[in-house]
Amino acid sequence: MRMITHRSKRTPDLGPEDLPDWRLGLNVDRSDQLRADLDRTVEAAGAFAKKHHRDFAIGYFNADSGTSEDVAFFKNATTAKQALAAVCSVLEI
């Protein structure tokens, strides 16, 4: 599993209350992730997303080819469970 965190710099067009873009996510390599581990990870990420008022992405990472693809997005524990179901469907786990 790889954690993705990329914060964009503040730009002049942002207001005082605006936050710059922040790409957050998890990329999962199917071969090294068990369902129970994924459940716990997504649950924690859902709480993190809600606390920081950010959307979170979860995707698939293929270690052999070095490619990744976002599968689902969430912003709290409820949408994290929906995202987990989508990811498990894609990964067939």
Give the type of residue at 46: G
Asked whether residue 37 is assigned to any structural domain, the reply reads: yes
In angstroms, the CA 79 to CA 40 distance is 14
Give me the percent of the chain exceeding a pLDDT of 90: 1
Nearest to 57 by CA among 75, 81, 39: 75
Please report whether residue 76 resides in a domain. Answer: yes
DSSP string, 5-48: EEEPPP-TT--TT----EEEEEEE-GGG--HHHHHHHHHHHHHH
Task: Say if 3 falls within a structural domain.
Answer: no
- Provide the mean pLDDT of the chain: 78
CA distance 13 to 66: 35
Residue 27 in any domain: the answer is yes
Q: By residue range, what is the domain housing residue 56?
A: 22-91
**Domains identified in the chain, total number:** 1
pLDDT digits (tens, 9 = 90+) for 10-50: 899 988 888 888 777 767 666 555 677 778 877 888 888 88
